[in-house]
Amino acid sequence: MRKTRVILFFILVLAFLLFGITGYNVYVIGKAREELSRTVLKHPTTVRNAKRHVIAILPLYIDPFISSILQGIQEEAETSQTAVQVFHYPSEGSTTGSYLPAEAFRYFDIAVRSAPDGLIMHFPAGEKVEQFIEKAERYRIPFVPMAMDVPLKPSRGFVTSDSFLQGREAASVAVGLLGKDAQLGVILPSGTPNSFTLAEEPFLKGAIFELDKRGKGKIVAVEREAVSILGGEEACITMLQNHPEINAFLCTSIRSTISVAQVIIDRGLVGKILIIGTNENTDIKRLLEKGVVQATIVRDALEMGRAAVRRLEQIWAGTPAMGIIKINSNTKFGRNL
């Protein structure tokens, strides 16, 4: 009898738990329906069904250039009812034989196997992009590669800015302000991941081309920005110590622009040594307004993002992904110019 009571007790407990779980599930479903009726069903015109699915694989940079590219992708995608899924890979920690970290390869593999309607990926300079293009073609995924500059081996359907033209414009602004007396120091991107050799650097080649064309000014020193957070300051200080005749710096990143500005402020050289910067954020806007930075050459990252999605739209419409799409820069001057 006692054994029967124990069994009956356990049966009642299990039944109670079962009814409790069932009741909780009914409650959750009811709340979900209630929430749905208060949002989607009452505002059907705000609900958009995506016609296509695009994956964007981008580096996780502090530099707002990448976030502006993403914004451009999302804005253009919205106009064509395209949903954008984003994977961010770390900007450092490259794998052997590649400037990309292992996460970037893993995300790309996941992306092509998930069969999206399109794939956009940003690459560091020097990366062998052809292997990614060929894999996307094997999986029949429309693919648009992106980079700051045209790779040494041009790739199909590439979207890029143009550092050669940026270098020309920076040198042109410096010579326009200083004339034949322009003695320039150039701070190039860090070598990790390595982009180009000095002889290959498109920014430097553009600056040299412009100086030769004008027959004015001279580049007296070139340094790469170190990887550390103080890398730009170290490069600037080194050049000033070795070449005190420098009267203008040409910078190739937001970080180096701000770093050089800090050195110039600390040494009381504002107005005596000019700074031609790159791109724009709130700090650079402030430096332009205060006259610390005389001008900045802004790459149109928003337009690069939009152009990548438009390239996919062309592919969807049956146009082959041929040629390279270059997005121009524009120059913003400080308040005193």
Pick the CATH number of 163-299 from 3.40.50.2300, 3.30.465.10, 1.20.140.10, 3.10.450.50: 3.40.50.2300
- Domain locations along the chain: 52-161+301-326, 163-299
Average pLDDT over residues 199-226: 91
Spatial distance between the Cα atoms of 149 and 135, rounded to a whole number of angstroms = 22
Question: Is residue 187 within 8 Å of residue 252, measured between CB atoms?
Answer: yes
Residue 320's pLDDT is 72
CATH number for the domain formed by residue range(s) 52-161+301-326? 3.40.50.2300
Average pLDDT over residues 171-184: 95
Question: How much of the chain, in percent, has pLDDT values that exceed 90?
Answer: 48
Which has the closest alpha carbon to 247: 273, 213, 221? 273
Average pLDDT over residues 307-311: 94
Question: Is residue 235 within 8 Å of residue 225, measured between CB atoms?
Answer: yes
Terminal Cα distance for the chain, rounded? 101
Residue 16 banded pLDDT, cuts 50, 70, 90:
low
Average pLDDT over residues 222-233: 76
Question: Is residue 76 within 8 Å of residue 306, measured between CB atoms?
Answer: yes
pLDDT digits over 100-134, tens only?
888 999 999 999 999 999 999 998 876 778 889 99
Spatial distance between the Cα atoms of 265 and 280, rounded to a whole number of angstroms = 19
Distances (CA, A) of 16 to 2, 9, 19, 25, 94: 21, 11, 5, 14, 56
Residue 206 banded pLDDT, cuts 50, 70, 90:
very high
Residue 244 banded pLDDT, cuts 50, 70, 90:
very high
Q: Could you check whether 52-161+301-326 and 163-299 share the same CATH topology?
A: yes
